[in-house]
């Protein structure tokens, strides 16, 4: 369909899970993708394969999203090479569970550094390019638990609630510049992150999803394609639940 033809996108956390599938779908839809992973060289092979398969340009970038200098250098590279940035997908995230009484400062910092502070940093960097071109779409990954809460996940759910709030705020601020900011709030998606809760809990959650199955990374990637494309050109400040009517 090529609905992202020639759009320049930056996606974080592309080596597995949801981010890997967003990269795949963006490549399939014709985007030029700057794909971020942490481990040097880890995306080289798949980037080459996707480029050959779909004729899209995939450029791997390697940095930890907490490294603000490296993130800045990446945006400078994008500006030099492509001259613009149309879509930013803040997908990289971490989940660590702890009951109230068991939460320490390290856990809070580990989660907020990646899920919130790095997202704010990336938005600020993308804004610099997008504001010049007076267009752009920023897509953040929130979560159903950021809206509904979940026992055992006070810190993680707070970080994803913060993502929802910063999405709405930046959408208000950036709408006059024609920069749209939306979030996707996935339910239970079958990835390493979700499976890390253990088989027993996976089964328990499954019985609480009305559509009767776990979500797939493709379910989320398709929402990201829509929000990144011009099909959603009048949609901003929204938190799009993609959860098969799940209860948490």
Q: Is 17 in the site for ligand NAP (CB under 6 A)?
A: yes
Q: Is 65 in the site for ligand NAP (CB under 6 A)?
A: yes
Q: Which of residues 144-183 bind ligand NAP (CB under 6 A)?
A: none
Taking residues 120 to 149 in sequence order and writing x for each that binds ligand NAP by CB under 6 A, - otherwise, the string is: ---------------------x-x------
- Per the residue annotation, which of 24, 62, 156, 234 is the catalytic one? 156
As a whole number of angstroms, the distance between CA 194 and CA 96 comes to: 11
* Range 102-131 burial, b when 16+ CB lie within 10 A, else e: eeeeebbeebbebbbbbbebbbebbbebbe
Q: What is the DSSP string of 86-109?
A: -EEEE-------B-TTS--HHHHH
Q: Tell me, yes or no, if 156 is annotated catalytic.
A: yes
Q: Is 192 in the site for ligand NAP (CB under 6 A)?
A: yes
Q: Is 74 in the site for ligand NAP (CB under 6 A)?
A: no
Tokens of 158: 């707070």
Q: Is 189 in the site for ligand NAP (CB under 6 A)?
A: yes
The neighbour count for residue 95, using CB atoms within 10 Å, is 20
As a whole number of angstroms, the distance between CA 21 and CA 26 comes to: 8
Q: Is 203 in the site for ligand NAP (CB under 6 A)?
A: no
Binding residues (CB under 6 A) for ligand NAP: these are: 12-13, 15-19, 38-39, 64-66, 91-95, 114, 141, 143, 186, 188-189, 191-194
């Amino acid at each position: 369909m090529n609905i992202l033809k020639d759009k320049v996108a930056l996606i974080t956390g592309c080596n597995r899970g949801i981010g890997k599938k967003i990269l795949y779908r963006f490549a399939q839809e014709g985007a030029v993708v700057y794909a971020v992973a942490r481990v040097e060289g880890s995306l080289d092979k798949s980037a080459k394969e996707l480029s050959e398969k779909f004729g899209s340009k995939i450029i791997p970038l390697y940095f930890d999203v907490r490294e603000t200098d490296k993130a800045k250098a990446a945006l400078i590279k994008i500006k030099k090479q492509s001259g613009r940035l149309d879509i930013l997908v803040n997908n990289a995230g971490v989940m660590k569970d702890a009951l109230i009484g068991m939460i320490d400062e390290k856990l809070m910092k580990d989660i907020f550094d990646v899920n919130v502070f790095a997202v704010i940093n990336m938005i600020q960097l993308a804004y610099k390019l997008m504001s010049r071109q007076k267009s752009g779409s920023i897509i953040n990954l929130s979560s159903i638990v950021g809206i509904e809460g979940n026992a055992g996940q006070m810190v993680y759910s707070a970080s994803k609630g913060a993502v929802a709030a910063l999405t709405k705020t930046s959408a208000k601020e950036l709408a006059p510049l024609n920069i749209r900011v939306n979030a996707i709030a996935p339910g239970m998606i079958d990835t390493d992150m979700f499976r890390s809760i253990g088989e027993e809990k996976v089964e328990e959650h499954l019985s609480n999803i009305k559509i009767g199955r776990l979500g797939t990374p493709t379910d989320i990637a398709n929402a990201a394609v829509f929000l990144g494309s011009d099909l959603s050109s009048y949609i901003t400040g929204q938190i799009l639940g993609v959860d098969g009517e799940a209860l948490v």
